[in-house]
Amino acid sequence: MTMATVRRLVFVVLVAGAFVAPATAALAQAPAPPPGIGARLLEGPAGSVDDPRAHEYIIDHLAPGSTISRKVGFSNGNAAPVDLVFYADAAEIYEGTFVPGAGHAINDLTSWITFSPASATVRPGETLPVTVTIRVPIDATEGERYAAALAELSSTPATSGGVTSVSRVGIRIYLSVGPGGAPVTAFTVNALTARRDADGVPFVTADVHNTGQRAVDLAGHLDLTNGPSSLSAGPFAARTTATLKPGDTGVVTVALDRALPNGPWDARITLTSGLTSGSGTARLTLPLDNGGSTAPVTVRPTDSAERTPIAAGVIAAVVLVCVIVVAYRRRGTGYGLTAPVG
């Protein structure tokens, strides 16, 4: 073996080590799974790395005929091995929540999903990577569909009658199907209402409306400014979120501090769903009485809650054209291509 060969081998080992070491370290640092059975998304689409929802749920827009795979980790935090079954369950969105169906509910989306493996015995402390593959048929119709990628654990069946308890945990799937770019995600905040609960704690409810073509998971915060003696307060985080399918209306609740003066205040609400955010303002006065509320106040929008891929694309296209035009003009001026000859 020549020195050159040795050098090459050392180089290969070093390069391989550079890749292997972080993976090993990450595995070693993986926290012990929480008690019971758990689920976590292990990977998301590279184009959605900045989208918080894509870190928790399988969210995508696919053309008919497409196939994607995502790894989901199902964990066992119990002291004994557990036998888990993996499957997709149809889900729906109503009253602001994402609800998987009872049993093995089916819809279009569940019939497109397969799991590998479909069942397994998971050891205590283990997180088992399971590949969830979605194959959208070529003749799939447009629209958004919902399901959950679940792991199911049954307790020991009752031998003498009674009710057996079953636990399921999983990852939500929001899948939009159609040609071209993703449909628009948009919502409006229509009104704010100041309220006090029975214990006197003030809170604000925001009436929201999904005006886009994809489901939203709305959360955010409220800022108060221009209060008595020019006071400001906040931000106060939204204490509840609203999951709304296209066309749905719902409520997001923001709890305030009991010590706040009643106002009036300029309230600015900012809500976000993934990469889409919007805000608006309204002048609010907190109610005096416990359990009371003021009349809803219409919100003046200050930021558009709309993410339109087409608009971003148009801007980029204009930039592209400008760059090419400028480049050609510079070339023409610099080399005298337009100068008459003779």
Partner 1 sequence: MKLRRITTLATAGTAIAGLSLLSGMNPAYAVDQPVTFEVEGGSLAIAQTPTAGTALVEGTAVDMPVTTVTDGRADFDRTGAWTVSASVTNLTESGGATILADQITLDETVGSFTAGTGTRVGAAAVVATGPLVSATGDSIDSVFTYTPTALLAAQTLPFSGSYAGTVTQTVV
Among 17, 125, 143, 180, binds partner 1 (CB under 8 A): 180
Using the rule CB under 8 A, give the single segment among 9-17, 112-120, 178-186, 261-269 that binds partner 1.
178-186
Using the rule CB under 8 A, give the single segment among 5-13, 150-158, 225-233, 261-269 that binds partner 1.
150-158
Residues in a beta bridge with 94: 97
Among 1, 3, 18, 49, binds partner 1 (CB under 8 A): 49
Query: What's 238's DSSP letter?
Result: B
For the segment 7-46, give every residue that binds partner 1 (CB under 8 A). 31, 33-46
Regarding 325 and contact with partner 1 (CB under 8 A), the answer is no
Nearer to partner 1, 168 or 285 (CB): 168
Regarding 337 and contact with partner 1 (CB under 8 A), the answer is no
Question: 239 phi and psi, to 5 degrees?
Answer: -90, -15
With beta carbons less than 8 A apart as the criterion, state whether 73 and 125 touch. no
Among 91, 120, 189, 284, binds partner 1 (CB under 8 A): 91
Cα–Cα distance measured from residue 283 to residue 191, given in angstroms and rounded to the nearest whole number: 11
Per-residue contact flags (x/-) with partner 1 for residues 101 to 130, judged by CB under 8 A: xxx-----------------------x---
Smallest distance from partner 1 to CB 146, Å = 10
Regarding 171 and contact with partner 1 (CB under 8 A), the answer is yes
Cα–Cα distance measured from residue 217 to residue 129, given in angstroms and rounded to the nearest whole number: 26
Q: Which helix (H) or strand (E) holds 335?
A: helix 309-335
Q: How many residues bind partner 1 (CB under 8 A)?
A: 100
With beta carbons less than 8 A apart as the criterion, state whether 226 and 289 touch. no
Smallest distance from partner 1 to CB 2, Å = 39
Within 10 angstroms of residue 188's Cβ, the number of other Cβ atoms is 20
With beta carbons less than 8 A apart as the criterion, state whether 281 and 270 touch. no
Regarding 300 and contact with partner 1 (CB under 8 A), the answer is no
Regarding 313 and contact with partner 1 (CB under 8 A), the answer is yes
Regarding 342 and contact with partner 1 (CB under 8 A), the answer is no
Nearer to partner 1, 65 or 247 (CB): 65
DSSP string across 306-326: EE-HHHHHHHHHHHHHHHHHH
CA-wise closest residue to 68 among 88, 41, 104, 44:
44
Smallest distance from partner 1 to CB 163, Å = 5
Regarding 336 and contact with partner 1 (CB under 8 A), the answer is no
Per-residue contact flags (x/-) with partner 1 for residues 206 to 245, judged by CB under 8 A: -----------x-x-----------------x-xxx-x--
Nearer to partner 1, 182 or 233 (CB): 182
Sign of the Cα pseudo-torsion (22, 25, 27, 29, in order): negative
Residues 301, 302, 308, CA angle at the centre, nearest 5°? 85
Regarding 87 and contact with partner 1 (CB under 8 A), the answer is no
Regarding 296 and contact with partner 1 (CB under 8 A), the answer is no
Regarding 270 and contact with partner 1 (CB under 8 A), the answer is no
Among 88, 130, 172, 189, binds partner 1 (CB under 8 A): 172
Residues in a beta bridge with 282: 267
With beta carbons less than 8 A apart as the criterion, state whether 204 and 194 touch. yes
Residues in a beta bridge with 59: 174
- How many residues in total does the chain contain? 342
Among 13, 63, 201, 288, binds partner 1 (CB under 8 A): 63
Cα–Cα distance measured from residue 206 to residue 242, given in angstroms and rounded to the nearest whole number: 10
